[in-house]
């Protein structure tokens, strides 16, 4: 297992990365502003549930295969792009009526959770990030590398949930001023749609 000094260095490096807003943070902030604190926090849980897949994949070496295979990378990359485009178009084409806001809380939260999960799982850059980042702090001399990477990945997720949760709580404060306005909700839908499409364009522009 990594020693305490290695874990401390890992935490410092992780926080430095997490505090810089990336696609996951933008997704969470967009949800928080559009639908409030609960939506943001559920999205945080969904995103980091998706991180479990990447952590396990990195520990088992699956991410190494993904990074080495241009075909696999392209398939996963454009599957994620297609999903983000679908989310963006759905928001842009929403009518923003009052009836649209009436949803069953459980169903809505479940949907938001799985959207966050899928957005993160279908981001190949996240898989490659874990594969490139976690091994830097694993020491073969300290034991099997896979369990070390699992521990590091779980620690990264805990720090990520704290960081992203903070973003969700802060950004949700903006929602209380605009949720009562149909026009404002429509503008948020448009803004959310553009964010999703922007994320899709960002992924398309990334090179393997």
Residues 6 or more apart in contact with residue 193 via CB below 8 angstroms: 87, 88, 89, 90, 91, 92, 94
Specify the pLDDT at position 142.
Answer: 74
DSSP assigned state of 141: G
How far is it, in rounded angstroms, from Cα 76 to Cα 13? Answer: 27
The beta-carbon contacts of 101-108 under 8 Å, at least 24 apart in sequence, are 101/185, 108/39
Residues 6 or more apart in contact with residue 112 via CB below 8 angstroms: 31, 35, 39, 42, 43, 46
Q: Which of 200, 206, 207 has its CA nearest to residue 26? A: 200
**Hey, where are the domains in the chain?**
4-14+23-205
Q: The pTM is what?
A: 0.66
Number of H helices, E strands in the chain: 9, 0
Query: What residues in the chain have per-residue pLDDT under 70?
Result: 1-2, 20-22, 62-68, 70, 72-74, 76-77, 80, 95-107, 125, 128, 174-189, 192, 199, 202-203, 205-208
Handedness of CA 163, 167, 170, 173 (dihedral sign): negative
Specify the pLDDT at position 106.
Answer: 40
For the chain, report the end-to-end CA distance as a whole number of angstroms.
31
What is the greatest pairwise CA distance in the chain? 61
């Amino acid at each position: 297992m990594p020693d305490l000094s290695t874990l401390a260095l890992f935490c410092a490096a992780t926080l430095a990365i997490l505090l810089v807003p990336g696609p996951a943070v933008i997704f969470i902030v967009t949800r928080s502003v559009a639908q409030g604190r609960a939506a943001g926090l559920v999205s945080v849980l969904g995103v980091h549930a998706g991180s479990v897949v990447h952590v396990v994949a990195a520990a088992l070496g699956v991410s190494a295969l993904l990074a080495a295979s241009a075909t696999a990378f392209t398939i996963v990359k454009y599957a994620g792009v297609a999903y983000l485009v679908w989310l963006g178009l759905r928001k842009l084409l929403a009518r923003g009526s009052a009836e649209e806001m009436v949803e069953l809380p459980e169903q809505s939260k479940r949907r938001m959770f799985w959207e966050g999960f899928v957005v993160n799982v279908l981001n190949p850059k996240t898989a490659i990030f874990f594969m490139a980042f976690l091994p830097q702090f694993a020491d073969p001399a300290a034991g099997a590398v896979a369990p070390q990477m699992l521990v590091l990945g779980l620690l990264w997720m805990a720090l990520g949930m704290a960081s992203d949760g903070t973003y969700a709580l802060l950004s949700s404060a903006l929602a209380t001023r605009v949720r009562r306005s149909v026009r404002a909700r429509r503008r948020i839908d448009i803004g959310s749609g553009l964010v999703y499409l922007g994320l899709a364009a960002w992924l398309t522009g990334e090179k393997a």
